Structure 1
Amino acid sequence: MQTTRPTPLLGGLSPAQFMKRHWQKKPLLVRNAFPGFQPLLAPRELFALAAREEVESRVVMREGKSWRLQRGPFARRALPALKRKDWTLLVQGVDLHDEAAHALLHRFSFLPAARLDDLMISFATDGGGVGPHFDSYDVFLLQAQGQRRWRIGRQDDLALQEGVPLKILENFRAEEEYVLNPGDMLYLPPRYAHDGVAVGECQTYSIGFRAPAQAELARELLQRIADEAAGDAPERLYRDASQPATDAPGAVPAALAEFAQAALAAALKDASALDRALGEYLTEPKSNVWFEPARAPRRLQGVRLDPRTRMLHDRRHVFINGEAWRAGGRDAALMRRLADRRRLEPREVADASEAARELLLSWCEAGWLHAEGGGA
């Protein structure tokens, strides 16, 4: 993507300007970000997705000052009637199940794929919403059908209402208000309070960006590094042949504390181990994602990543669906293009080494990659 070229997607800003002025700083309202936009799924298609076991879905209903939350899957007859007001269906990860939704998500490829989370669709009847709240991540809110009224505000008081099944702000104070029409889009940075209410029947698409918590990330990386280190060499046990008799048995021996520090330093000494653990963690599929194995094509031409596949790269590795490969030379450049563009043209595959083509074929068999242009 041309990061310095102005685009209607960002209201005439270039991606570079948007990142400097707005990303994680302040909201941006874009009228007609997607001219002539039509919903990618009709309501009945969205309801069919919400009925599937592997799809995360929720229904939120407002009854006066009370709120109800139900979790899917939902048979169609289990959803409220369309003529009933004040209810919302939320379907998570639609990009994993619909090619058009997946393509829409990747219109935002001026941002690192490591941060890209998913596309959630919110279907609501008149008055439907989830109450005033804030998210801990960046989000683009694209209006797909009907209208939604948004009230937003930078809020320091993040206290939540008690006794409700949703994280609803206790004292929400709006500073701005907008009504979005199909094709309009609103960007909000993390922790920016907002309340969206449907004006008639509507669909809103939320393009969300994950931000791992520091403690969670540290815990996950340390565990992965420790598991790898344990398999690399014979276990070294603590030895204390020079330990004297003690009259304070409850005290931690200084030598044991030093042994622990040395163990941690040894595990973190290899910088590539940390890089590898990070890439594997960032590409690990979500727990509700699985792939259907397939027969490898007889002749490999163009290829494209499955919408559910997560693929990243760093200086030494390529990562795909929680696994890492060392990469160098021409094949490394090829795999990085695949991670960046999510597809390779036939001429690019033809230039790959035999080893690289064998790897691509194995990914086809795993269902991570699909062949294009014949040869199946």
Structure 2
Amino acid sequence: MYTLNFDTAEFLREYWQKKPIAIKNAFNAFEDPISADELAGLAMEDDISSRIVQTQADAWSVVQGPFEDYEKYGEDGWQLLVQAVNHWYPASQPLVEAFRFLPDWRFDDLMVSFATPKGGVGPHIDNYDVFIIQGEGERRWQVGNIGEHQQRGGDKNSPLVDDFDPIIDVVLSKGDVLYIPPGYPHCGETLSLALSYSIGFRAPSQQELLTGLADSLIDNNSGEQRFTSTQEKANKGLVGQQQQQAMMDMLAELATNPSQYQTMLGKLLSQNRFELDLNPIEQAICEADVIEAIEDGASIQRIGGLKVLKLEADTQAHLYVNGEVINVDGIDADIVSLIANEHLFSQQQLSTWVSQPSVMTLLSEFINQGWFYFSE
């Protein structure tokens, strides 16, 4: 169990998406949920996104995984980063749970890094919020102020920025947390063999929202209203300002109509950037199989990283799961909320649902998809 030592309400009020903060002893008696050897093993898998960053005389090089061995990288100056560890390593989920005071739709993934002394990724700026939790070892972090920062060496393709004046300069030890909002440059340097955990929270861009809306309109064969105008400019080659704004107003109307945007948002926000450890069962089960398993003492658990979302004031009875729309019409709203909020459903809880066929049908569908699974 991982319990945060700071006031999350105060954090949301004073720091969230406003300014960075280093929180010493954010966890008491912090224990690493994964070992360096286990992390190295994950980075050997084809389906798991991993990379090694090497520090080379004020420059950094990146090698993409998977990796077969690590001996050639030596004893210092490199860092292994593995994305979406929570998708593949269930023991890491309790650490993620500690940060669920923020909503699931924002949650991106748990990235875990193993770093040797002098290892790091260089000064850079992220477009998402990140909590960096220090496990074993120590790392020095510097965070600069938000503002105009040039890409390193004037290279517009570089993910790095030039050095900056730090507003935070701190050494993180086990159980410390550093929070960095989008836009703040930061850089970490490893002082001793270290495990670190980055929990990222990401929101959609205008590009993603517009693309999602366009795809939704095409899929549903909607949004076919054409622009009309009764007043035209006499100038043959001129598009009038009034017409320009009226066209954009017509587009903006879609954003005020829940029936046009809600399904798009649910599908977009429930998708993951990284592969899930889906394990659909070979022989489909039915409602009776679910009831039998529950009566035999089974619990049901959600796979790591799966997002199950509901929209407030949804015009339709839907859940949104992994980019798909699930009809939950006829299921008690409290049960729908539990399915969206909880990762584990105990046998005792499930036994109160077995008399509701629609719930058993939903659970069997989720298990057949590989989204949920039986656990002891």
Report TM bin, short chain: 0.7 to 0.9
Contact 2:128 2:203 in 1 (8 A): yes
Within 5 Å, give how 1:318-329 maps onto structure 2: 318-328=319-329
5+ residue gaps, structure 2 = 228-235
Change (3 A) 1:300 1:221: farther
Task: Say whether 1:178 aligns with 2:178.
Answer: no
Alignment root-mean-square deviation, CA: 3.3
**Which ranges of structure 1 fall in alignment gaps of 5 or more residues?**
1-6, 239-247
Give deviations 1:227-252, integer Å, cap 9, x for gaps. 1236x9xx9999xxxxxxxxx8x999
Distance across 1 between alignment mates of 2:156 and 2:34: 31
CA distance in 2, matches of 1:166, 1:50: 25
The answer to whether 1:284 aligns with 2:271 is yes
**CA separation of 1:129 and 1:330: change in aligned 2, threshold 3 A:** same
| 1:93-119 deviations in Å (ceiling 9; x for gaps) | 111011121221121111010001111
Q: Amino acid of the residue matched to residue 127 of structure 1?
A: K
Report the Cα distance in structure 2 between the residues aligned to 1:274 and 1:208, rounded to whole angstroms. Answer: 25
1:49 aligns with 2:50: no
Residue deviations 1:304-348, cap 9 Å, x none? 211132111124321111112343565332121121122323344
Q: 1:269 to 1:227 in 2, by over 3 A?
A: farther
* Number of residue pairs matched by the alignment: 354
CA distance in 2, matches of 1:105, 1:38: 14
Please give the TM-score of this superposition, normalised by the length of structure 2. 0.83
Amino acid in the other structure paired with 1:339: A
Query: Between the two proteins, what is the percent identity of the paired residues?
Result: 32
- 1:371 & 1:289 partners in 2: Cα distance? 17
- 1:361 equivalent in structure 2: 364
Q: How does 1:257-276 map to 2 (within 5 A)?
A: 271-276=258-263
Quote how far apart the aligned CAs of 1:27 are.
2.1
Between the aligned partners of 1:221 and 1:271, the Cα distance in structure 2 is 12
Q: Which of residues 189, 204, 209 in structure 1 aligns to 2:196? A: 204
CA distance change for structure 1 residues 322 and 199 in 2, over 3 Å: closer, same or farther? same
Highest RCO, 1 vs 2 (Cα 8 Å, sep ≥ 6): 2
Aligned mates of 1:266, 1:175 — CA distance in 2: 43
The residue number in structure 2 matching 1:4 is none
Task: Tell me how far apart the structure 1 counterparts of residues 56 and 15 of structure 2 sit (CA, whole Å).
Answer: 36
Structure 1 residue 359, shift from structure 2 partner = 1.4
From 26, 34, 38, the equivalent of 2:27 is 34
Q: Check whether the contact 2:44–2:67 (CA below 8 A) recurs between aligned residues.
A: yes
* 1:141 paired residue among 111, 117, 132: 132
State the SS of the aligned residue for 1:175: strand
| Most deviating of 287-296 and 98-107 | 287-296
Equivalences for residues 1-376 of structure 1 within 5 A: 9-11=4-6, 13=7, 15-77=8-70, 80-81=73-74, 83=75, 85-162=76-153, 163=155, 166-229=158-221, 271-286=258-273, 288-289=275-276, 291-294=278-281, 295=283, 296=285, 297-298=289-290, 299-301=292-294, 302-315=299-312, 316=314, 317-328=318-329, 330-352=331-353, 353-373=356-376
C-alpha contact 2:319 2:328 (8 A) present in aligned 1: yes
Residues 139, 158 of structure 1: CA spacing in aligned structure 2 closer, same or farther, 3 A cutoff?
A: same
The SS at the match of 1:338 is: helix
In structure 2, the CA distance between the partners of 1:101 and 1:166, relative to structure 1 (3 Å rule), is: farther
| Matched position secondary structure for 1:176 | strand
Give secondary structure in 2 for the equivalent of 1:370.
strand
CA distance in 1, matches of 2:249, 2:139: 57
How has the CA–CA distance of structure 1 residues 357 and 122 changed in structure 2, closer, same or farther, with 3 Å as cutoff? same
AA aligned to 2:18 is: K
Q: Which moved more, 1:95-104 or 1:35-44?
A: 35-44
**Which residue identity does 2:309 align to in structure 1?**
L
Deviations 1:64-108 (A, max 9, x none): 123211111111147513x2x211111111110111212211211
Cα distance between partner residues in 2 of 1:100 and 1:55: 17
Displaced runs of 4+ in structure 1, greater than 4 A? 163-166, 235-238, 260-270
- Helix, strand or coil at the partner of 1:196: strand
Q: How much has 1:143 moved relative to structure 2?
A: 0.4
Instruction: Please report how far the alpha carbon of residue 185 of structure 1 lies from its aligned counterpart in structure 2 after TM superposition.
Output: 0.9
In 2, the alpha carbon distance for the partners of 1:201 and 1:224 equals 48
AA partner of residue 95 (structure 2)? L
Secondary structure of the residue aligned to 2:123 is: coil
AA aligned to 1:40 is P
Distance 1:122 1:314 in 2: 34
Alpha-carbon distance between aligned partners in 1 of 2:364 and 2:321, rounded to the nearest angstrom: 14
- Aligned partner of residue 193 in structure 2, secondary structure: strand
Residue type of the alignment partner of 1:219: T
Secondary structure of the equivalent of 1:212?
Answer: coil
Q: For the residues of structure 2 that align with 1:65 and 1:192, how far apart are their CA atoms?
A: 20
